[in-house]
Amino acid sequence: MSLDRFYPIFDGLDWLERTLPLGVKLVQLRIKDVAENDLREAVARAQALCRAQDAVLVVNDHWRIAIDEGCDWVHLGQEDLDTADLPAIRRAGVKLGISTHDHAELDRALSLAPDYVALGPVYPTILKKMKWEQQGLDRVTEWKRLIGAMPLVAIGGMSVERAAGAFDAGADIVSAVTDITLNDDPERRVRQWIEATR
């Protein structure tokens, strides 16, 4: 099954409830600093919401809960890779996306045979303090050449207006966070994203 080209990332169930009915087909739940019971409940609910809308849920970081709740995908950052039980993830049949920011991280990711690779930040981002400068579209093109047929996710400072450039540079999927969550009309913005990516 090929993944949708529009990949929003949200930090709460309310966002899934608002955007899944609009046609979002691939979404990441990225919740930080929440008690494990609440987190487990959130992942289970997110999975139910996504299944009801025929959407793919990607769970950020919390791979044990993802396995327990029967989720299909997890996304791991480089720090998460240090502690994740990758064989257990694979045994559970869970697909894996990995964040990369430089060549060393890409080499590490590719050695683990992930199901997609994310590159960021393509543009400056306000979401996270990062030691990496913006990667730019040339880096997107280079990454795509290096990873081949594997899906490449472009993330960081992405907007509807910048999506076409990222696709032209080689990205298969474009991920957005604040372009939606900080928009005055998030629902309208999601519709614009869907229109721009399908």
DSSP string, 105-171: HHHHHHHT--SEEEE--SS--SSS--SSPP-HHHHHHHHHHHHTTS-EEE-SS--HHHHHHHHHHT-
CATH homologous superfamily, domain 6-193: Aldolase class I (3.20.20.70)
Q: Which of 29, 12, 19 is nearest to 180 (CA)?
A: 19
Share of the chain above pLDDT 70, in %: 96
Predicted confidence at residue 133, as pLDDT, reads 73
E strand or H helix that includes residue 8: strand 6-10
Predicted confidence at residue 198, as pLDDT, reads 92
Predicted confidence at residue 124, as pLDDT, reads 85
Predicted confidence at residue 137, as pLDDT, reads 96
Q: Give the pLDDT band (50/70/90) at residue 130.
A: low
Write down the domain spans for the chain: 6-193
Give one word for 9, left, alpha or beta, with left for phi > 0 and alpha for psi -120 to 50: beta
Cα(77)–Cα(7) distance, integer angstroms: 16
Q: Of all residues in the chain, what percent are helix, strand and coil, respectively (each to 5)?
A: 45, 20, 35
Considering the entire predicted model, what is its pTM?
Answer: 0.96
- For 51-70, the pLDDT digits (tens) are 999 999 999 999 999 999 99
Give one word for 139, left, alpha or beta, with left for phi > 0 and alpha for psi -120 to 50: alpha
C-alpha torsion sign, points 97, 90, 30, 33: negative
